[in-house]
Amino acid sequence: MLTINNLHASIDGKEILRGLNLQVNPGEVHAIMGPNGSGKSTTASVLAGKPEYEITGGEIIFQGENLNGMAPENRAAEGIFLAFQYPVEIKGVSNINFLKTAVNEIRAYHGLEPMPAKEFLNRIKEKQELVQFSNDLAKRSLNEGFSGGEKKRNEIFQLAMLEPKLAILDETDSGLDIDALRIVAHGVNSLRSKDNAFIIITHYQRLLEYIEPDFVHVLYNGRIVKSGTKELALELEEKGYDWLKSESRDYITA
Amino acid sequence: MLLEKTKLLDQYFDEVLKEQQQIDLLLGDPVHPNLYSLRDMARQSFRSKGIPHSGMEDWKYTPVRAFVEKILRVKDGYPKYSSSAADALQLEKSCYIMVIIDGKWWPHLSDPILTDSLEIASLDQVSSETAKIAHLGAHADIEHPFAALNTALFSDGIMIRVKTGVLLEKPIYLVHISMGEINPMFYPRMLFVAEKHTKVTLIEKFVVSDTSIYTVNNSVSEVVVENGAEMEHYYIHTENELSVNLQYARVILDEGSKYSNYNFALPGSPFIRHDLHVSMRGTGAETTLYGMVLTSKKQLVDNHTCVDHSVPDCISNEHYKCIVKDQSTLVFNGKVIVHPDAQRTNSFQKNSNLLLSDDAVINTKPELEIYADDVKCSHGATMGQFDSEALFYLTSRGIRENTARQMLMEAFAAEIIEVVPDEMVKQYLKNIMAEHL
Ligand SMILES: Nc1ncnc2c1ncn2[C@@H]1O[C@H](COP(=O)(O)OP(=O)(O)OP(=O)(O)O)[C@@H](O)[C@H]1O
Ligand SMILES: [Mg+2]
């Protein structure tokens, strides 16, 4: 589904990703961990097509298509979804209206008519229940004045509404209380299928107890320095990153 | 060459002023007993200043002369506007409609008016001379060149008077149609009096007809809101590129009165200059001034507002939001004066701008003059472009960039549109804004 080959990306002339490789197949869940500033959110933004980033080398192939130069809206329509680490507040745009526009623009991209109002409302209701997202929140301006946890839940609500093929969750767990964490995990698990895939960026093993990953990767200094199965997450929780940092330094100098 | 043209315009006004003076001499004074001397002063004031130029502080960014000058070319076959612009009457339901063509009120095209609650008449036919004599020419400042020009030249004019204690349910809807039938430049004169403890909504909409030629509308309104009265006053500009608007309004607020002004300018007219001067004359008065301006192409829209607090315990609240596109120019000048006696004044002013093109220009200037010590005042101007994080957020959900931009513009405008109290007007504004964003 997704193949990232030797990806180099920079922002404002500063190289952040330095030779990233990753292969994600349908049905898989990948976790990406790594120290602060290692390039996890950058990877997520580059995948979603944030215009500020420049790809200076390598390629991203999504469902057989090179994403380089593709606009974010088209990537979304092709099935990429990013749950933001820091969701933006947009005053004056209602949550529901925003979702309706998104759903229908994606449908238009695929040559489909707008979704009938009734179907849309049913879907809203169903997905709201799935992630226990309150009606009050859904009616308000997009994320405006939402608490940190409410914003994260809204990201998962949107994810559920848009049903992407590849969902990237950037630290969706941070800021969530224990109940919310379970709700979000439940939401994600019930959306999992053999046709879609998840990339879950997190600092904590806890989320991975609820959403079991097939692979765990460690990102450091703009590249993946170690990959393993879910046991790697446990090992990281115990030992931290220092042992990997020295290992990767050896690797770089070698 | 340039000099010659300049002279032509000055000559033109010189002749027009003289002509009016002769007419006044001949006809006497049907409109107002002191009109002759008032006009005399106005003429002198205008002659001493002439059409404003960029050397004058209040006109620094507003090259009005070029737009007025065009009236001289109208007679040499300036192109007529041909497409249909007859959206004038979309608000007609449940309003008292008044049709005003080139500044002249057409009673037979207008709704009959309930006379025991309301008087609407041309100035020479007003029944209550008292109100007229007290207010006509008493509030417009003839130091303002275009207030002076209007005062020297207006012919019939309209007075609307809501009689003491009357709470009017239906809004009064004035449709100003600029046609240029007799003259490309005309001088509408309005006097609105909301007597004690009344409540009234006035909607003024500016449009053109499909036979309009290039016109310059130089209007003056004097607005008086008496003790305990409330007025909601809308300006909606939807003219086209043939219609220039020079508008001056002075509002007088008596004790405990409330005045809210909602000023909407949409793309169309090449040049709009609004002077809105609100004077708090009675304690406990409140005013709210909201503006939503959307400029495009080569438009220039200039709003000069002034709120002056001369008595204690008044509140003023102002918020103008502007979306500025293409090669257009936006000027905003918001003056607040708090005189020494105006203790416990609350005055807030905000001007927020969305600048959407490298070729567009915004000149914004808040001016606060505070001479009292026990006051709460604040002002601020912001200038922004599209928030790139917000754009990315929207597009990352599959929303096309154009749609996303439109959503962000609507969101920006929503803050003003949402405060519009009249549901019918709000809905109408939402629709026309959506057309232009
Ligand atoms: N505009 C920019 N100019 C220069 N450096 C930048 C810019 N934006 C991000 N960076 C840098 O890129 C690096 C990677 O940032 P990124 O947000 O991808 O880290 P992260 O792995 O997501 O960290 P965290 O765990 O804290 O979320 C950081 O060192 C950051 O300071
Ligand atoms: Mg991050």
User: Is residue B103 exposed (0-12), middle (13-18) or buried (19+ Cβ within 10 Å)?
Assistant: buried
Residues in chain A within 8 Å Cβ distance of B393: 84, 87-88, 90
Ranges B57-66, B73-82, B220-229, most confident:
B220-229
β-bridge pairing A29-33 and A80-83: unpaired
Which of B396, B410, B413 lies closest to A76 in CB terms? B396
Residue-level pLDDT at B93 = 58
Residues in chain A within 8 Å Cβ distance of B395: 49, 71-73, 76
Cα separation, A115 vs B415, whole angstroms: 29
Give the pLDDT band (50/70/90) at residue B5. low
Closest CA to B217 of B106, B71, B80, B87: B71
Give the pLDDT band (50/70/90) at residue A248. low
CA atoms within 13 A on the CB side of B304: 17
Find the Cα–Cα–Cα–Cα dihedral B209, B211, B213, B216, rounded to 10°.
-20
Give the pLDDT band (50/70/90) at residue B211. confident
Do the Cβ atoms of B172 and B98 come closer than 8 Å? Answer: yes
Do the Cβ atoms of A17 and A223 come closer than 8 Å? Answer: yes
Which of A71, A101, A102 lies closest to B401 in CB terms? A71
* Ligand 2 ion: nearby residues, β-carbon < 5 Å: A 40-41, 85
Inter-chain residue contact B400 with A73, CB threshold 8 Å: yes
Inter-chain residue contact B400 with A48, CB threshold 8 Å: no
**Tens digits of residue pLDDT in B36-66:** 888 989 999 999 989 999 889 899 989 898 8
Residue B346, strand partner residues: B315, B376
- Report whether pLDDT(B225) > 80: yes
**Tens digits of residue pLDDT in B308-335:** 999 999 999 999 999 999 999 999 999 9
Q: Which range is least confidently modeled, A160-169, B4-13, B206-215, B338-347? A: B4-13
C-alpha A67 – ligand 1 centre gap (Å)? 22
Inter-chain residue contact A90 with B390, CB threshold 8 Å: yes
The helix-helix angle for A230-239 and A242-253 (nearest 10°) equals 110
Structure tokens, B39: 């006009």
Inter-chain residue contact A102 with B387, CB threshold 8 Å: no
Closest CA to A35 of A232, A205, A241: A241
- Report whether pLDDT(A224) > 60: yes
Inter-chain residue contact B392 with A50, CB threshold 8 Å: yes
C-alpha A203 – ligand 2 centre gap (Å)? 10
Residues in chain B within 8 Å Cβ distance of A170: none
Please name the residue of chain A whose CA is at the shortest distance from the CA of residue B417.
A92
The whole-number average pLDDT for the span A66-89 is 95
Residue-level pLDDT at A247 = 67
Pocket of ligand 1 (CB under 6 A): A 11-12, 14, 16, 34, 36-42, 85
Residues in chain B within 8 Å Cβ distance of A93: 394, 407-408, 410-411
Size of interface A-B (CB pairs under 8 A): 77
Residue A109 CB partners (closer than 8 Å, separation 6+): A73, A74, A77, B398
Structure tokens, A14: 């500063």
**Tens digits of residue pLDDT in A83-126:** 999 999 999 899 999 999 999 999 999 999 999 999 999 999 99
**Tens digits of residue pLDDT in B117-147:** 899 888 878 877 888 888 999 999 999 999 9
Mutation target to probe the A interface, by most A beta carbons within 10 A, among B399, B407, B409, B417 is B399
Ordered by start, the domain boundaries in chain B are 2-282, 388-437
Give the pLDDT band (50/70/90) at residue B82. very low
> Which residue's CA is the closest to the ligand 1 atom numbered 16?
A39
Residue-level pLDDT at B237 = 93
Residue-level pLDDT at B3 = 47
Closest CA to B189 of B230, B161, B163, B217: B217
Mutation target to probe the B interface, by most B beta carbons within 10 A, among A12, A86, A97, A105 is A105
Do the Cβ atoms of B198 and B229 come closer than 8 Å? Answer: yes
Residue-level pLDDT at B87 = 42
Total count of residues recorded for chain B: 437
Residue A10, strand partner residues: A15, A54
Please name the residue of chain A whose CA is at the shortest distance from the CA of residue B418.
A92
Type of residue at A61: I
Collapse the DSSP code of B197 into the 3-class scheme (helix H, G, I; strand E, B; otherwise coil) and give the result. coil
C-alpha A197 – ligand 2 centre gap (Å)? 20
- Report whether pLDDT(A164) > 50: yes
Q: Which range is least confidently modeled, A84-88, A119-123, A176-180, B207-211? A: B207-211
Closest CA to B270 of B297, B236, B305, B303: B297
Cα separation, A26 vs A195, whole angstroms: 5
**Residue carrying structure tokens 């090179």:** A66
Closest CA to A23 of A161, A237, A215: A215
Residues in chain A within 8 Å Cβ distance of B403: 101, 105
Give the pLDDT band (50/70/90) at residue A235. confident
The whole-number average pLDDT for the span B144-156 is 94
The CATH code belonging to domain A2-253 is 3.40.50.300
Type of residue at B242: L
Cα separation, A83 vs B29, whole angstroms: 75
Residue-level pLDDT at B179 = 87
Structure tokens, B119: 């008087």
Cα separation, B91 vs B99, whole angstroms: 13
Residues in chain B within 8 Å Cβ distance of A102: 394, 397-399
> Which residue's CA is the closest to the ligand 1 atom numbered 30?
A37
Cα separation, B260 vs B201, whole angstroms: 10
> Which residue's CA is the closest to the ligand 1 atom numbered 31?
A37
The beta strand positions in B157-214, using DSSP E, are 158-162, 172-178, 185-186, 189-194, 199-208
